[in-house]
Amino acid sequence: MTHQFIDLVLISNVTLKANPTDLMEFKSSAVVTCSVSSGSSLYFLWLNSSSEVTGSDRVQITDGNSTLTIVNVTRYDQGPFRCLVINPLSNSTSAPVNFTINYGPDNMALTVNGQNTTSFFVGSNLTLLCSAQSGPEARLQWAFRGETLNTTGPLLELLSVSEKQSGSYSCLASNHRTNVNRNITTNIMVAKSPLSGSEQLRVHVGLLSLLLLVGVLSSLSGKL
Ligand SMILES: *[C@@H]1O[C@H](CO)[C@@H](O)[C@H](O)[C@H]1NC(C)=O
Ligand SMILES: *[C@@H]1O[C@H](CO)[C@@H](O)[C@H](O)[C@H]1NC(C)=O
Ligand SMILES: *[C@@H]1O[C@H](CO)[C@@H](O)[C@H](O)[C@H]1NC(C)=O
Ligand SMILES: *[C@@H]1O[C@H](CO)[C@@H](O)[C@H](O)[C@H]1NC(C)=O
Ligand SMILES: *[C@@H]1O[C@H](CO)[C@@H](O)[C@H](O)[C@H]1NC(C)=O
Ligand SMILES: *[C@@H]1O[C@H](CO)[C@@H](O)[C@H](O)[C@H]1NC(C)=O
Ligand SMILES: *[C@@H]1O[C@H](CO)[C@@H](O)[C@H](O)[C@H]1NC(C)=O
Ligand SMILES: *[C@@H]1O[C@H](CO)[C@@H](O)[C@H](O)[C@H]1NC(C)=O
Ligand SMILES: *[C@@H]1O[C@H](CO)[C@@H](O)[C@H](O)[C@H]1NC(C)=O
Ligand SMILES: *[C@@H]1O[C@H](CO)[C@@H](O)[C@H](O)[C@H]1NC(C)=O
């Protein structure tokens, strides 16, 4: 063995320390330190899942690369993070550390029968589906014309709707860890089917005459 390796010590017991691991998105910073029970001439590498962590504005690697600091964590920073320690004799990887990042609710969406359309005929069955990005999962509560309904969870089912069920439907999302509440509202219009009654027909005839009038007017203005 060459002279320069005489003082080398095998790496053992690579340990990560992170406190706390329960964090708030955009508020908390994560600090993880990597240590060994024995080893010399150490070189530290950080892994985020299987990719190497590189420094940035947000991500600082300090103390001879043995400390990882993530400023203002995001929901994508849950890890698992591991530390890989290398010297010319050996290498060893730590157990992973995961972070629980509390975030949201945000990016809400509401569909009715899987679509964005909001006009339906009397007698239709409607399934309203609400979603929100949230950690932990948001509590979802439904409201109709501003009054909370006795329905929680992502689905609101309305069977054989009538005209008086037209109006604003809201999904209220709340996250008990972030204390953030958000909502999304859609206005549903329930109308008589075109096949039921002469009322709808009169509307159509009225619309047709209006279109004809517009046509005549624009052809007149074309001649001027
Ligand atoms: C490994 O390191 C940790 C923290 O330094 C220590 O608590 C533990 O006793 C060590 N285990 C062994 C087997 O050396
Ligand atoms: C820390 O990591 C950087 C980037 O990988 C490397 O260039 C540098 O030599 C390392 N420093 C130490 C003390 O290991
Ligand atoms: C972290 O968030 C705080 C508050 O939102 C902000 O003032 C600060 O500039 C942020 N730091 C970084 C490094 O993004
Ligand atoms: C960890 O990996 C995730 C997914 O690739 C990425 O979005 C996130 O920014 C990474 N975080 C750090 C601190 O490297
Ligand atoms: C770690 O050591 C093993 C042998 O124990 C070797 O096969 C591997 O290439 C080494 N990895 C690194 C990153 O040095
Ligand atoms: C960390 O998360 C990974 C997947 O993201 C999972 O497989 C692993 O069990 C978790 N580890 C701990 C200690 O919670
Ligand atoms: C509904 O609208 C949202 C936003 O306008 C869009 O992202 C989504 O793809 C639409 N969904 C359908 C089923 O059309
Ligand atoms: C609405 O749902 C009920 C019960 O599930 C079903 O009997 C009925 O045929 C459905 N009506 C329409 C228009 O799909
Ligand atoms: C709401 O649901 C609960 C439990 O399912 C029931 O006890 C209560 O009477 C309902 N309230 C209304 C106004 O329907
Ligand atoms: C819904 O959100 C708006 C702001 O986006 C807020 O003004 C309103 O009070 C919220 N409604 C409910 C019922 O929480």
In a domain, 41, yes or no: yes
Residue nearest to atom 7 of ligand 6 (CA): 80
36, 43, 53, best to mutate for ligand 2 pocket (most atoms within 8 Å of CB)? 43
Cβ of 38 below 6 Å from ligand 1:
no
Report how far residue 30's alpha carbon sits from residue 16's, in angstroms, rounded to the nearest whole number: 13
- Whether 20 and 73 map to the same domain: the answer is yes
pLDDT tens digits, 39-92: 889 999 999 999 999 999 999 999 999 999 999 999 999 999 999 999 999 999
Is the sign of the CA dihedral 62, 65, 66, 69 positive or negative?
A: positive
Q: What are the C-alpha distances in Å from 29 to residues 20, 79, 194?
A: 9, 14, 59
Distance of CA 61 to the CA centre of its chain: 28
- Structural domain harbouring 24: 10-98
Domain-ending residue, one of 98, 120, 139: 98
Residue 180 Cα distances to 4, 107, 177, angstroms: 59, 13, 8
How would residue 207 be classed by pLDDT, with cut points 50, 70 and 90? Answer: low
- Spacing, Cα 109 to ligand 7 middle (Å): 8
Q: How do residues 95-122 score in pLDDT, each as one tens digit?
A: 999 999 999 999 999 999 998 889 999 9
Q: Is residue 223 part of a domain?
A: no
Same domain, 86 and 36: yes
Ligand 1, pocket-test mutation among 9, 12, 13, most atoms within 8 A of CB? 13
Instruction: Quote the CA–CA distance of 98 and 77 in Å, as a whole number.
Output: 9
Tell me, in angstroms, the distance from the centre of ligand 3 to residue 72's CA.
6
Closest Cα to atom 1, ligand 3: which residue?
A: 72
**Distance of CA 186 from the midpoint of ligand 7 (Å):** 13
pLDDT of residue 194: 74
Query: Which residue's alpha carbon is nearest to atom 14 within ligand 4?
Result: 53
**Which atom of ligand 2 is closest in space to residue 43's alpha carbon?**
14
The fraction of the chain above a pLDDT of 90, given in percent, is 79
Is 70 exceeded by the pLDDT of residue 176? Answer: yes
Residues 154, 130: contact at Cβ < 8 Å? yes
Residues 23 and 52 in one domain: yes
For residue 130, the domain's CATH number is 2.60.40.10
What ligand is nearest to the CA atom of residue 183?
10
Mean pLDDT is lowest, of 35-49, 137-151, 201-215, for 201-215
Residue 81 CA to residue 103 CA, distance in Å, equals 19
Mean pLDDT for all residues in the chain: 90
Distance 34 CA to ligand 2 centre (A): 14
Is the model's pTM score more than 0.85? no
Give the residue-averaged pLDDT of 131-153.
97
196 falls within a domain: no
CA of 152, nearest ligand number: 9
Pocket of ligand 6 (CB under 6 A): 80, 96, 98
Question: Sorting pLDDT into bands at 50, 70 and 90, what band is 193?
Answer: confident
Ligand 9 centre from 151 Cα, in Å?
9
Q: Ligand 3 pocket, 26 CB below 6 A? A: yes
pLDDT surpassing 60 at residue 223: no
Q: Please give the tally of structural domains in the chain.
A: 2
Both 82 and 111 in one domain: the answer is no
